[in-house]
Amino acid sequence: MVSPNHRGIFSMLLSFWLLASPVLAIWPQPSSISTGESTLWIKSGLSVSYNGKNGGVGRAMNNIIHKNFVPWMLYNRMELEATEPSLFKPKTYITHLDITQTGKDSSKTFKPLAGEVDESYTLNVDKRGKASITAVSSTGVLRALETFSQLFYQHSKGAYFYTTSAPVKITDKPEYDHRGILFDVSRSFFPMESIMRTIDAMSYNKMNRIHIHMTDSQSWPLEIPALPELHEKGAYARGKTYSPSDLATIQRYAVNRGIQPIIEIDTPGHFGIVALSHPELVAGWDSTPWTSYCAEPPCGQIRLNEPKVDPFLDTLMEDLLPRLSPYSAYFHTGGDEVNFNMYSLDPSVGTNDSAVIVPLLQKFIDKHHARVRKTGLVPMVWEEIPADYNITIGKDVVIQSWLGDEAIASLTADGHKVITSNYNYWYLDCGRGQWLNFAGADLETYYPFGDWCTPYKNWRLVYSYDPRANLTAKQAKLVLGGELAAWSESIDDATIDDILWPRASAAGEVLWSSPKGRAQIEAAPRLATFREFMIARGVKSATVHMPYCTQGLNQTACQYL
């Protein structure tokens, strides 16, 4: 279906639309799909067989029957009632859903390193109402069930659900192994529902990694039983914390949806908040003017030459990591934006000279990564550690890059595995202006108060990104995937859905389907349809465009001409 030739797609869509029903619009685009023009109905109580098990069947049926929508915005204007399938003609129902899992799940299925789980599947729905899924792993079954749930719309007359595209034949598998969202619960506190709603939405997009940026200089919401003073002094308020049981709830909720939770405790930068309970561990807490010492207030980094740091990190990691390893293959050690000036304020370092700092940082990283590996986890780091500070790290380490294409080219040339959060495309907090306030002469200097990574990353821009652009085949293989970053200096529960969706969906398709050609014209109607599934399921996604552009024949009208 995916073609770089938009004129071809235009006429193809047009011919579909003359049938006056919505085309089948699966998001992200499957590797291969063929559809027909027969109508099938579905209701609860169909016969399901599955030689394995997971919660996917119940959730898919619940989404079809209880969280569906009447697609008035997909039919031609005012033609829904006249052209949707008649309730008064004989109906063919889906009678069977047969699920065959051809492989055996292992613990790696639920906490895979990149490439360790097979997410492929096939889905067939024949004209007589027999649906079948095959997949190697239970994760593949989950992906198939998500696709299955996107086949059906609700009828305008009530609780009747149909597809007009039977028979359907789909074979599908992801292009990238790491398809994630970075969720920052430290700058703003997010209630559990917010995280779980995001996990649900990610599963609709077939995404498979939720990277939780758990702590930062602004707050420490994570309860560490061995070090309760961390949250008692460092959370924003009582109750604005994640208990061990909350963490386990998030982990299980994610894993049950084929999503691996990856926890980040950022070190040695972005660590200021620990000064409130352990001042001896932190250099330059809340230094001013903060612009001289860190990227945003309040400043604070781990001291690099202070003997109390190692025992503290030992205690922290011995408490936390064994609670992560049952659900995760990775632990993110942070490593971004370490400010060398700050170490002039650290009496045990006393200089900003990199000749002094880098060897100390090397020692710090070596020890810290050893802690992570000891628990069977693979360390992740931000790219500055190897790229800017020249620290030597293991080839097992996955590097999260955010500074753009050149950084990825150079890291992969060195043989490192990377995931990309290229800020030019995938930083979702960008382009909405400053969250800092300005006074005095700065009011004029910084007018009109744009942020550092403007412009806003519209879904079309998100969608235009190719994580493997201009890489050799060998380098490309080292790009495991990517993550959309939702840094939360200016985002909280009230608006997180709008920030993430449908923009993260666009990236979800880049990572699942690798749509070469990046054809907005082909993608827009499908994304607009999928957006309505998200809305119906309680995710307050922004629009793709107005209903004028989504209705029937108009689906290609909103093109710049």
Tell me which stretch binds a copy of itself (CB under 8 A): 259-267, 302-310, 407-415, 453-461.
453-461
Residue carrying structure tokens 């992570």 = 372
State which amino acid sits at residue 348: S
Q: If binding is defined by CB under 8 A, does position 81 make contact with a copy of itself? A: yes
Identify which of residues 290 and 389 has a Cβ nearer to a copy of itself in the complex.
290
- Shortest approach of a copy of itself to residue 442 CB, angstroms? 5
Query: Is the dihedral angle over the CA atoms 137, 143, 146, 152 positive or is it negative?
Result: negative
Identify which of residues 412 and 550 has a Cβ nearer to a copy of itself in the complex.
550
Query: Of 491-510, which residues contact a copy of itself (CB under 8 A)?
Result: 491-492, 494-495, 497-498
- Shortest approach of a copy of itself to residue 120 CB, angstroms? 30
Q: Which two three-digit tokens encode residue 528? A: 């607009």
Q: Which two three-digit tokens encode residue 24? A: 């089948």
Tell me which stretch binds a copy of itself (CB under 8 A): 55-63, 258-266, 322-330, 486-494.
486-494
Query: Of 55-74, which residues contact a copy of itself (CB under 8 A)?
Result: 72-73
Q: Which two three-digit tokens encode residue 336? A: 């971004």
CB 181 within 8 A of CB 211: yes
Q: Which residues contact 307 (CB under 8 A, 6 or more apart)?
A: none
- Shortest approach of a copy of itself to residue 145 CB, angstroms? 25
Q: Which two three-digit tokens encode residue 204? A: 């609709």
CB 485 within 8 A of CB 426: yes
User: Rounded to whole angstroms, how far apart are CA atoms 331 and 236?
Assistant: 24
The rounded radius of gyration (Å) of the Cα atoms in the chain is 25
Query: Of 228-287, which residues contact a copy of itself (CB under 8 A)?
Result: 232-240, 276
Q: Which residues pair with 345 in a beta bridge?
A: none
Identify which of residues 373 and 432 has a Cβ nearer to a copy of itself in the complex.
432
- Shortest approach of a copy of itself to residue 6 CB, angstroms? 4
Q: Which residue among 79, 175, 337, 489 is the active-site one? A: 337
Q: Identify whether 223 is a catalytic site residue.
A: no
Residue carrying structure tokens 């309760």 = 228
CB 121 within 8 A of CB 135: yes
Identify which of residues 93 and 236 has a Cβ nearer to a copy of itself in the complex.
236
User: Rounded to whole angstroms, how far apart are CA atoms 205 and 300?
Assistant: 37
Packing angle, helices 244-255 and 309-324, rounded to 10: 50
- First CA to last CA across the chain, in angstroms? 24
Identify which of residues 289 and 311 has a Cβ nearer to a copy of itself in the complex.
289
The binder of a copy of itself chosen from 113, 436, 453, 476 (CB under 8 A): 436
Three-state SS for 144-186 is HHHHHHCCCEEECCEEEEEEEEEEEEEEECCCCCEEEEEEECC
Q: If binding is defined by CB under 8 A, does position 293 make contact with a copy of itself? A: no
Q: If binding is defined by CB under 8 A, does position 118 make contact with a copy of itself? A: no
Tell me which stretch binds a copy of itself (CB under 8 A): 87-95, 118-126, 375-383, 426-434.
426-434
Residue carrying structure tokens 């590797």 = 31
Query: Of 129-168, which residues contact a copy of itself (CB under 8 A)?
Result: 156
Q: Which helix (H) or strand (E) holds 366?
A: helix 354-374
User: Rounded to whole angstroms, how far apart are CA atoms 293 and 307?
Assistant: 23
The binder of a copy of itself chosen from 167, 244, 297, 376 (CB under 8 A): 297
Q: What are phi and psi of 123, to 5 degrees?
A: -135, 125
- Shortest approach of a copy of itself to residue 297 CB, angstroms? 5
Tell me which stretch binds a copy of itself (CB under 8 A): 85-93, 198-206, 259-267, 446-454.
446-454
Query: Of 2-61, which residues contact a copy of itself (CB under 8 A)?
Result: 6
The binder of a copy of itself chosen from 78, 90, 355, 392 (CB under 8 A): 78
- Shortest approach of a copy of itself to residue 546 CB, angstroms? 4
Please give the size of the binding site for a copy of itself, defined by CB under 8 A.
87
Q: If binding is defined by CB under 8 A, does position 456 make contact with a copy of itself? A: yes
Identify which of residues 112 and 284 has a Cβ nearer to a copy of itself in the complex.
284
Q: Which two three-digit tokens encode residue 13? A: 């869509």
Which residues are catalytic, by number? 337
